[in-house]
Every structure is written in structure tokens, then in C-alpha cells.
Amino acid sequence: MPNFDSKFFRKMLRFFCIICVFLVFNCQSKFLDNNSSKPKIIVGVVVDQMRYDYLTRLENKFTEYGFNRLINDGFNCTNNHYNFVPTVTGPGHSSIATGSTPSVHGIVGNEWYVRNLQKNIYCATDLNYENIGGNAYYGKKSPNNLLVTTFADQNRIQNKMRSKTISVSIKDRGAIFMGGKNANAAYWFYGKNKGEWITSSFYMNELPSWVKKFNEPENISRFLNEWELLYDLKSYDLKREDNNDFEIFFKGKNDSSFPYLTKNLMEKNDGFDMISETPFGNSMTTDFAIAAIEGEKLGDDEYTDVLTISYSSTDYIGHNFGVFSLETEDTYLRLDLEIKRLLDYLDNKMGKNNYSLFLTADHGALEVPAYLNSKGVKAASVNKYKFRKSIIEYLDETFGSKKIIEHSINNHIYINYAEVNSLDLDIDLVKEKIVNHLKTYEFINSAYSLDKIISLSKLTGYQELIKNGYHPERSGDIVFVLNPNTIIYGDKGTTHGSGYDYDTHVPLLFYGNGINKGETRGRTEITDIAPTINALLGLKTSETYSGKILDFVIK
């Protein structure tokens, strides 16, 4: 029988207690370290209409502190693509945020046709809510047309709604769909005669004091700057003369050359909307995002907050002037400085390793077809009214009716089933005739009946994009694919929406807390962003995600 009163035993007992205390303390420290290793804030940056090649083409002109800082000190997914069509703003932002394609999240276009209403609806319109600022048309909005949750929603739900989500964009759809269904607020810009950041009663009944302060006229007027070149003209990659006939002119200006006297152009170009049409719309967006961090106290507690920022002016400028214009290049050189300014602010506010950021785009763009043609590259801009008229004439000749097609949008054709039935026509024959006729146009690459696309077990690459962009309740009956370098648009300027690389290949950069340095040339897809952010935050993977976790990005 040992002597439990012995000095030896008492010493061993004390030693054992010390070890236990040490182990408990050590475990607690590791737990706290793991907790504190989570970023204070996730910042999601979307650049509207940014092609991937802007990063490589302008790399030597960017500073080392903006885009190049994200590339050199973060993780660069160099072969990142959209995996659906159409490649436009509403579906793009929705897929970034939800990790799913339009076939799941339901945002099949910026607009789509609703058969029972017999009209188009805008992707973010919701008449159940009122405008808070601006006017009714611009404010009756919500995320309710989005059918699934976003990574920001998942974060709030996991944290029992104690974290915050704030979403900012000049465009309402850029803010609303990135923020998701549970955002504390989404803000967008109303120009016209007011010039103010607004929201919807879906989020609140009154603008917060910090937004009201930002909206003060003397503050908004700061962004009505004369647009001159940032650097000397010789330093730009001038592909064509500044003044040319390929670009869309502002009303009241008879050429497309610098400078642009913004205040003088306001009257004929929708007032304060002129801010959006210049690089200073991006500057305003950065300022508003920083004001949101301060006003909402984002990153101030133990729960990771989410801020999404969508830079929209790049899209307005890209549509007007094109990919290789002097205006577009200048805009991206200025945006590089905005990215630097945002990163510097986050460093000072959050601490250099206390935030995580990703940067991507909602789509790319085709260069202006008229310019491509002038350089010997076959391209076309199709007049949609003439195109539609010729199809209707064909159907009238074939079936004796001009009402076979009910509507067309997003390269989808909606058949008027009531008309087909009243003429006692076979619906499959009607579809076949339309598909075959579409293939006769020299600017159309292919056409399909969508029910056949959905039923195929083996699909080509482009057919897969069509399938991923199809939602049975919102999409049409027949889809057509334009030739490469072809758009349905006006004679000047350009647009996007196809499944070709110039529209699908966009940047994807990760940076900051928990992110490895490096790059991959392997293919990644836009739907991979949300699962990767979820994994970074230790959140459960949503069953609606169709993307994958990019585990090589995360430390």
C-alpha cells in the first residue's frame, strides 16, 4: 500500500496539475489563434466587363501596388471562365455569389420574358418594395428573383446573423445579387437630376446617416471631373486614333477624343449619370465602399463581415468605346489606382493579414466589330429589328401566321403555343422549321431546340454552356448561337453575351488572410469562387453549389 501522504506523491500531484493547466491553456490558445486567424472581412471585388487579357496587356503600365500586388502577393487563376451563356451582368454577379449557374439560381439574363405576363421583367425588379431615395423605377428592387443563397448569406446564417453583409455597385443588379437574400443592405447609384446612392425598402425604411452625408450635393459633385488622360499620350498602347468613327459619341460632343468636359455634357446625357460614364464613377464607388466600412463598422468584432464592391463604369465605357480604345485603357490605369487605394485603406483599417479579398469580372467583351473589320478580321453587328422581321416573314410564308413567335430575348425564341394550337400545327415540326431556318443566316453558327439540348447525354462545349444557362420556367424554346466576333447591336460600340473566350475568360485573383501565393494555368470556373470562400471561412458547403473548392488557393 503506497503512502499517499508522502512528499513524493504530493510533488507528483502538483506536477500533474501544472501539466493539466498547461495543456488546457495551450489548447485554449490554439483555439483562440484559430479563431483570430479568420479574416475580419471578406471583400469581393467585381469589375464589370473586364477581360483577362487586360491584366497581361497592361501589366507593365499598372503600378506595383494595385492589380500587380494582387497578382504577385496573391493567387492568380489565369484560366478562369464562365461556364454558361449569356455572359451578362445579372447572371454573372449571381453566379459569382451563389456558386451556381442560371440553371440553378434562376437569373437567366438581365431581363427575361414571362409568358403569363406577356412581357419582359427586369432581373431585380420587385414591385412589393418601395424606393428609398432616387425614384420608384430605380428603387422597387429586391433579390427575390434569385432562387438560392449566396456565400455571404451562408456566412450570416452560420454566424446566427451576427455578421454583416453590405453590397455596393453603381448598378442595382451588381449590388443586389452579390449581397444575396440576407444582406443588411445593398446600395446603388441614381444619377439623373439627383445624384445619390439609394436602396430599397427590402433592406430598410430610411437611408442611414452616413449615406445621407455621402449624398450631400457638394460631395457627389466632386466626381463630375473633366476627363483627361491620366498619363502622357505617348505612354498609351494606341491601337487606333483617339478620334475615330467606331465609338459611340456622347450627346453634345461631335467626336470621341479627349478631353471630356463632364459638367458640360451633363444636360444632354442624363445629368449625374455622366459620373457613371467616366472613370470617376469607379472613384465614387471606392469612396462609398470605404464610407460603408466606416459607417457600418465592418470588421470591428469577432464575426467575419462581407463587403462586395462592383465597379460598373468600366462596362459603360467599354460599351461606348471598345476594348482597344484609349478611353478603356485610361479607365483601367485609373482603376489600378483605385485598387491600390482600397488595399491601402484595408491595410490601415483591418491590418495587413486581417482581411481576404477576391477580384473577378462578370463577363468580358468583344472589340468593336467595325474596328475589327477595318483590320481585316471578319466581324459583324446584326440589326435586331431586321433580323426579327425576316424570321416573321419566313413563318408567315411557311405557316400563314405572323404570330408563331411570341417573343425573343437573350438569343432565346419563345413560341406562341396558343397560336400553334389554333392553327393545328405540330409543335415539333414548327421548332424544326425555325431551327433550320435560323441556320441559313450567315451570321448564325448553330441553333437548337432547347428541349433536345436538355435531353442530350453528350454535349459539345457550347451546348454545355447553353444547358447551364437554361432554366425551364424562365428560358425560351429555341436558342441560336452567333458566329464568333458577331453581336446583335448598333453600328458603333460593342457588347458581350457569348460563350466565346473574349466573353468568358475573366480574371480571378485571391489575396490576403488564408490565401497562398502562386498561380494556376488549370481551368477554373466562375462557380468555384463561392465554394472556395466558404471553405476559407470554414462554412458548410451549400447543396446548391455546382462549383468546386479551389483548395490549392487556401493555406
List, for residues 432-483, the tens digit of each pLDDT value.
Answer: 999 999 999 999 999 999 999 999 989 999 999 999 999 999 999 999 999 9
Low-confidence residues of the chain: pLDDT under 50 = 1-5, 8-10, 13, 16-36
192 neighbors 271 (Cβ within 8 angstroms): yes
The C-alpha atoms of residue 323 and residue 326 are separated, in whole angstroms, by 9
**CA-based radius of gyration for the chain:** 27
User: In whole angstroms, how far apart are CA 310 and each of 14, 178, 346?
Assistant: 60, 9, 17
- Do 257 and 350 lie in one domain? The reply is yes
Mean pLDDT taken over the chain: 94
| d(C-alpha 114, C-alpha 136), whole Å | 22
Buried b (16+ CB within 10 A) or exposed e, 532-548: bbbbbbebeebeebbbe
Looking at the chain, the whole-number percentage of residues with pLDDT higher than 70 is 94
261 and 222 fall within a common domain: yes
The answer to the question of residue 14 being in a domain is no
* Partners of 199 in the β-ladder: 132
463632364: which residue's cell?
A: 262
> 360: Cβ–Cβ under 8 A, 6 or more apart, which residues?
45, 46, 47, 80, 96, 506, 507, 508, 509, 526, 529
C-alpha cell at 543: 447543396
- State whether 310 and 429 are in the same domain: no
Residue percentage of the chain with pLDDT more than 90: 91
Same domain, 358 and 390: no
Q: Which residues of 179-188 are buried (b: 16+ CB within 10 A; e: fewer)?
A: bbbbbbbbbb
In a shared domain, residues 411 and 344: no
Can you spell out the DSSP letters for 246-315? SSPPPTT-SSS-S-B-HHHHTTTTTBTHHHHTSTHHHHHHHHHHHHHHHHHTTT-SSSPEEEEEEE-HHH
Residue 24 covered by a domain: no
Whether residues 124 and 171 share a domain: the answer is yes
Q: How far is CA 518 from CA 74, 198, 336, in A?
A: 6, 39, 20
pLDDT of residue 238: 87
Which are the contacts of 308, defined by CB distance < 8 A and separation ≥ 6? 43, 44, 45, 46, 97, 152, 165, 166, 167, 168, 169, 175, 178, 179
With respect to residue 263, please indicate whether it lies within any of the assigned structural domains.
yes
Question: What does the alpha-carbon distance between residue 126 and residue 162 come to, in Å, rounded to a whole number?
Answer: 27
Angstrom distances, CA of residue 546 to CA of 83, 103, 146, 148: 11, 10, 16, 12
Distance, CA of 386 to CA of 359 (rounded, Å): 39
- Total structural domains in the chain? 2
Q: How far apart are CA 34 and CA 48, in angstroms?
A: 35
What's residue 9's pLDDT? Answer: 44
Instruction: Report d(CA 54, CA 67) in Å as an integer.
Output: 10
Shared domain check, 522 and 403: no
Residue 504, Cα to own-chain centre: how many angstroms? 12
Q: Is residue 123 part of a domain?
A: yes
Q: Are 494 and 454 in contact (CB under 8 A)?
A: no
Same domain, 415 and 520: no
Look at residue 490 and tell me if it is in a domain. Answer: no
- 72 neighbors 494 (Cβ within 8 angstroms): no
- For residue 447, what is the domain's CATH number? 3.30.1360.150
Dist. CA 199–CA 190, nearest whole Å: 9
**Which segments of 165-279 does DSSP mark as H helices, in order?**
172-179, 209-214, 217-220, 262-265, 273-276
CATH number of the domain at 149, please: 3.40.720.10
Hey, what amino acid is at 215?
Answer: N
Dist CA 121 CA 112 (whole Å): 6
The answer to whether 467 and 453 are in contact (CB under 8 A) is yes
β-strand partners of 487: 381
DSSP state, residue 141: B
Helix (H) / strand (E) containing 11: helix 7-36
Taking alpha carbons only, the member of 67, 46, 53, 76 closest to residue 333 is: 67
Same domain, yes or no: 420 and 532: no
User: Active-site residue numbers?
Assistant: 89
Same domain, 119 and 236: yes
> Based on the domain organization, do 339 and 428 belong to the same domain?
no
The reply to whether 447 falls in a domain is: yes
Q: Per the domain annotation, does 545 fall within a domain? A: no
Q: Is residue 553, in this structure, part of any structural domain at all?
A: no
**In terms of domains, do 467 and 505 share one?**
no
CA proximity to 223, closest of 295, 307, 287, 314 = 287
Q: Which residue is it, cell 481576404?
A: 356
Q: Give CA separation, 458 vs 324, 453, 455, 463, in Å.
A: 38, 9, 9, 9
Task: Give dist(CA 307, CA 186) in Å, integer.
Answer: 10
User: Which residues are bridge partners to 407 per DSSP?
Assistant: 414
Domain around 344 = 41-367+501-537
pTM of the model: 0.93
**Which residue spans within 390-443 are E strands per DSSP?**
405-409, 412-415
> 155: part of which helix (H) or strand (E)?
helix 151-158
DSSP 125: B
